[in-house]
Amino acid sequence: MPESIVIYDTTLRDGAQTEGISFSTEDKLEILKKLDEFGISFVEGGWPGSNPKDDDFFRIAGTMDLKNTILTAFGSTGRHGIPANEDQNLKTLAECSAKWCCIFGKSWDFHVTDALCIPLEDNLKMIEDSVRFLKESGKHVMFDAEHFFDGYYANHDYAMNALKAAVEGGAEWLVLCDTNGGTMSENIASAVKDVALTFGVNVGIHCHNDSDLAVANSLVAVENGAMMIQGTINGIGERCGNANLCSVIADLALKLEYDIDVTDLTKLTDLSKFVGEVANTIPSPGLPFVGEKAFTHKGGMHVSALVKDPRTYEHVPPESVGNKRRVLVSDMAGRSSISEKLKEMGIAINDEESKEIIKKIKDLEAKGYQFEGADASFELLVRRLKGSLIPPFEVAGFRLSIDYVGNNQLVSEASIKVIDSKGNLEHTAADGDGPVNALDKALRKALSKFFPIMDDIRLTDYKVRVLDEKSATAASVRVLIRSTDGKNSWTTVGVSENVIEASLNALTDSIEYAILKDQETNNQGAD
Measure the CA–CA gap between 100 and 436, rounded to whole angstroms: 57
pLDDT bracket for residue 521 (50, 70, 90): confident
Closest CA to 131 of 68, 76, 86, 177: 76
Supply the pLDDT for residue 14. 96
Please enumerate in sequence order all residues whose Cβ is within 8 A of that of 257, keeping only pairs 6 or more positions apart, or say none: none
The edge-to-edge listing of strands for the beta sheet with 410-420 is: 393-404, 410-420, 425-432
**Average pLDDT over the chain, rounded to whole?**
89
Per-residue pLDDT tens digits for 395-405: 999 999 998 87
Measure the CA–CA gap between 501 and 400, rounded to whole angstroms: 12
Domain ranges (residues) in the chain: 6-278, 296-364, 367-377+451-527
Per-residue pLDDT tens digits for 117-163: 999 999 999 999 999 999 999 999 999 999 999 999 999 999 999 99
H-helix or E-strand spanning residue 362: helix 351-366
| H helices, E strands: number in the chain | 17, 16
Supply the pLDDT for residue 340. 65
The answer to whether 140 and 100 are in contact (CB under 8 A) is: yes
Please give the full DSSP string across 403-451, using - where no structure is assigned: EE-STT-EEEEEEEEEEETT--EEEEEEEESSHHHHHHHHHHHHHTTT-
Measure the CA–CA gap between 217 and 209, rounded to whole angstroms: 9
0.75 exceeded by pTM: no
Q: Is the pLDDT at 331 greater than 50, yes or no?
A: no
Closest CA to 396 of 415, 414, 419: 419
What does the chain come to in residues? 527
**179, 183, 189, 192: CA torsion to nearest 10:** -30
* Structure-model confidence comparison of residues 140 and 292, the more confident one: 140
* Structure-model confidence comparison of residues 490 and 154, the more confident one: 154
The answer to whether 512 and 392 are in contact (CB under 8 A) is: yes
Measure the CA–CA gap between 86 and 79, rounded to whole angstroms: 10
Return the CATH number of the domain spanning residue range 367-377+451-527. Answer: 3.30.160.340
Question: Residue range 12-21: average pLDDT?
Answer: 94
Measure the CA–CA gap between 296 and 302, rounded to whole angstroms: 10
Distances, alpha carbon 433 to alpha carbons 100, 438, 482, 502, in Å: 55, 7, 18, 18
Measure the CA–CA gap between 365 and 358, rounded to whole angstroms: 11
pLDDT bracket for residue 384 (50, 70, 90): confident
Measure the CA–CA gap between 216 and 436, rounded to whole angstroms: 48
- Which CATH superfamily includes the segment(s) 6-278? Aldolase class I (3.20.20.70)
The answer to whether 492 and 513 are in contact (CB under 8 A) is: yes
Q: Is the pLDDT at 168 greater than 90, yes or no?
A: yes
Please tell me which of 31-40, 402-411, 491-500 the model is most confident about, judged by mean pLDDT.
31-40
Per-residue pLDDT tens digits for 49-102: 999 999 999 999 999 999 999 999 999 999 999 999 999 999 999 999 999 999
Per-residue pLDDT tens digits for 301-320: 666 677 677 888 889 999 99
Question: Residue range 162-170: average pLDDT?
Answer: 98
Per-residue pLDDT tens digits for 234-250: 999 999 999 999 999 99
Q: Give percent helix, percent strand, percent coil of the chain, each to the nearest 5.
A: 45, 20, 35
Supply the pLDDT for residue 383. 84
